[in-house]
Amino acid sequence: MISFDRVSKRYPNGREALSNVTFNINTGEMVFLTGRSGAGKSTVLKHIALLERPSRGTVLVNGKNTSTLRARHIPAFRRGIGVVFQDHKLLADRPVYDNVALPLIVAATPLKECDKRVRAALDQVGLLGKERMLPYELSVGEQQRVGIARAVISKPPLLIADEPTGNLDPDLALEVMRLFRRFQDVGVTVVVATHDLHIVREFGQREIVLDNGQVQGGAADSLPSVVATR
């Protein structure tokens, strides 16, 4: 599903955010990207969502080379990826319904279908009945779940999340992670960047460790480094 081959990213200011990063993530896998702040976790996710392109090396996502993808194919490419942000990136002036439905609206989904799927997605994250509320009327945890509902509503084969539990207390964090694993259970590939090692241990999925822009472990898609029972 995702393959990084000797990927380096150097920004115009000279900082090298990734150097020679190589790893593979299989379809249906759930993988944690870990490492300290600034280790390059977010940069890896940006490369997957095509918010960045590599300076050197190749990024393949869903069989597409992100370096050679034409601009007019980017929207369709992004529709195949659900993205969850630490700061949710919800539209503050739009009710929950509009926020969650956005990926369907840009894909020109019929309104009836839209209604059905928004309800289903909100049900999945436990927010049914809050469609008409504005984001600021919700708790931080609820806002995060709205973001997740938006990420999964168009049933993308790939879900990526950048520090999705950063602002949540441990119980909520666990709850969100369980939600991600439920998506994995139905075949979605899930990549979660987190520095919360407690959660990583708890879930025992494969862990790709980044440090200073380089992969320190877990690059091979072999057994997880720490095995835990589900």
Partner 1 sequence: MSLSVASARHVQALLGSIGRLSRNMFATTLTLLVIGLALALPMALRLFVANAQAATGDFANAVDMSVYFKPDVPLAKAQQLAADARQRSEVGEVTVIPADKALEEFKTYSGFGTALEVLKDNPLPHVLHVRPRAESSSPAALETLRRYFTAWPEVDIVQVDSEWVMRFNAILEVLRRLLVIVAILLGAGVLAVIGNTIRLEILNRRAEIEVTKLVGGSNSFVRRPFLYTGVLYGLGGAVLAWLIVEAAVAVLGQPVANLAQLYGSHYLLEGPSDDDIGILLAAGTVLGWMGAWISAARHLSSIEPRA
**Identity of residue 10:** R
Choice from 77, 95, 124, 155 touching partner 1 (CB under 8 A): 77
Contacts of 153 (CB under 8 A, 6+ apart): 82, 100, 101, 103, 104, 117, 118, 121
d(CA 79, CA 158): 10
- Closest to partner 1 by CB, 80 vs 126, is 80
Tell the smallest beta-carbon distance from residue 148 to partner 1 (Å).
13
Smallest separation, CB 10 to partner 1 (Å): 18
Residue 113 vs 185, nearer CB to partner 1: 113
Site for partner 1 in 20-59 (CB under 8 A): 42, 45-46, 49, 51
Could you give the string, one character per residue 159-198, with x where binding to partner 1 holds by CB under 8 A and - elsewhere? Answer: ---x------------------------------------
- If binding is defined by CB under 8 A, does position 62 make contact with partner 1? no
Residue 59 burial class via C-beta count within 10 angstroms: exposed 0-12, middle 13-18, buried 19 and up: buried
What is the C-alpha separation between 106 and 25, in angstroms, rounded?
Answer: 28
Q: Does 76 bind partner 1 (CB under 8 A)?
A: yes
- For the chain, the C-alpha Rg in angstroms (whole number) is 17
Give yes or no for residue 91 binding partner 1 (CB under 8 A): yes
Residue 49: which region, alpha, beta or left (left: phi > 0; alpha: psi -120 to 50)? alpha
**How many angstroms separate the CA atoms of 224 and 181, rounded?**
15
**Of the candidates 60, 102, 219, 226, which one interacts with partner 1 according to CB under 8 A?**
102
CB-nearer residue toward partner 1: 93 or 171? 93
The span from the CA of 122 to the CA of 71, in Å, is 32
Residues that bind partner 1 in the complex, under the rule CB under 8 A: 42, 45-46, 49, 51, 72, 75-80, 83, 85, 89, 91-92, 102-103, 105-111, 150, 154, 162
